[in-house]
Structure 1
């Protein structure tokens, strides 16, 4: 095993140790691509395809060769990485020179220095299909053992990506809740200021703030924040 290669067990463990508080989904995808390149024998370059609806893109890649071969497929709407992503299947192209399913793409791949590929379906998010794409610079770079290992790796990677997505969603909801609570608190403060100045009820104070918001075309929270900041003055606006 070369110094750059990882034992599969170590790679799987590393996927499980990714700190989700310090890595967003994009960073996790990049880590998945790098670990796959170092783990699966025959993988000289690796990329991750994301397909949302009819739009495909490469979310992570370890080298320009992988990106070039991916984008050629996206431009023409067909190829092994797209099939693997949309069908959530494993698609092997052991010899580009003899490939008949996507002959033009295979010819382009040979011209760029690639000779074989392996794409494994990789679920990324509920509305996003994905594929882990491995490219080799030799014919038949991926034997049966490599295929099984790539599929197993994709399974571990899918768990890491699901956790990253869930963490991201949870963190986003938490931030939204904090923002909403902060907004509510400042509105209540502003209501109190208006009530004190105008000797009115809470409902009447809220109506005053709402009218200012409408008349000035500003968010109610922004109106309240400005009023609280100027609480030492006499202008309700």
Structure 2
């Protein structure tokens, strides 16, 4: 069914692609969140890039990205200790809350003058996956031009938000899948090779009842000083 058949935003095709790429059996090196942001970027109208971000206490870390230029946005947040992702984390937005920034032009203040800096992406559409204790996890969409991510992006992003939330925080995901995801988070957030990330994480998982992703997030916060 296409857009001309009543499927206004191509939801049927997008759901098929989402299932194909993110519901695969767990295999070594496969990361379901990588698959999810890749499908999301290709599907959402106007989106040029997508990412999963962790923001709080002056730091932003985008762990799963479709474009390395997103690092420019993260560095700006981290250098200034300000910016929309950090402001949304401080606001403690609820699950599903949508932040839309129509023009992400960055401002650099030298004290004597203020200079506008054009970032690699001008539009930001960020949806809260979880927000607690000053930390926020989100699915972020970026577009190169300003005013590019409106209602169609919100409609399409909703299904990806549901799946991303389930992958990160769903109680019924298999432990093997959650362990692989936890290792990936530690590796990306701390810039470690996967074997080193496993070596760091494993001692904290002695209690089989502890969720690996939750442990990984707390470990990252502790090491980076953002807890």
State the TM-score, normalizing by the size of structure 1. 0.55
Deviation, 1:37, is: 0.9
What residue is the counterpart of 2:147 in the other structure? Answer: 140
Equivalents in 1 of 2:26, 2:135: separation in Å? 20
1:114-140 deviation line (CA, Å, top 9, x unaligned): 221111112399996311111101222
Residues 84 and 131, structure 1, Cα contact 8 Å, conserved in 2: no
Residues 52 and 65, structure 2, Cα contact 8 Å, conserved in 1: yes
Counting helix residues as a fraction of each chain, which structure ranks higher?
1
What residue is the counterpart of 1:38 in the other structure? Answer: 42
Distance 1:143 1:123, change over 3 A: same
Q: Name the SS for the 1:122 alignment partner.
A: strand
Distance 1:15 1:76, change over 3 A: farther
1:114-193 counterparts in 2 under 5 A? 114-123=121-130, 129-163=136-170, 166-167=175-176, 176=206
Number of residues of Structure 1 aligned to a counterpart in Structure 2: 166
Q: Name the SS for the 1:9 alignment partner.
A: helix
What residue is the counterpart of 1:57 in the other structure? Answer: 61
Equivalents in 1 of 2:135, 2:32: separation in Å? 15
Q: Name the SS for the 2:69 alignment partner.
A: helix
Residues 48 and 133, structure 1, Cα contact 8 Å, conserved in 2: yes
State the TM-score, normalizing by the size of structure 2. 0.57
**Unpaired runs of 5+ in structure 1?**
179-237
> How large is the RMSD of aligned CA atoms in angstroms?
3.9
Is residue 13 from structure 1 mapped to residue 28 from structure 2 by the alignment?
no
What residue is the counterpart of 1:94 in the other structure? Answer: 102
Equivalents in 1 of 2:83, 2:207: separation in Å? 43
Distance 1:177 1:166, change over 3 A: closer
Q: Name the SS for the 1:42 alignment partner.
A: coil
Q: In terms of Rg, which structure is larger?
A: 1
Counting strand residues as a fraction of each chain, which structure ranks higher?
2
Q: Name the SS for the 2:99 alignment partner.
A: strand
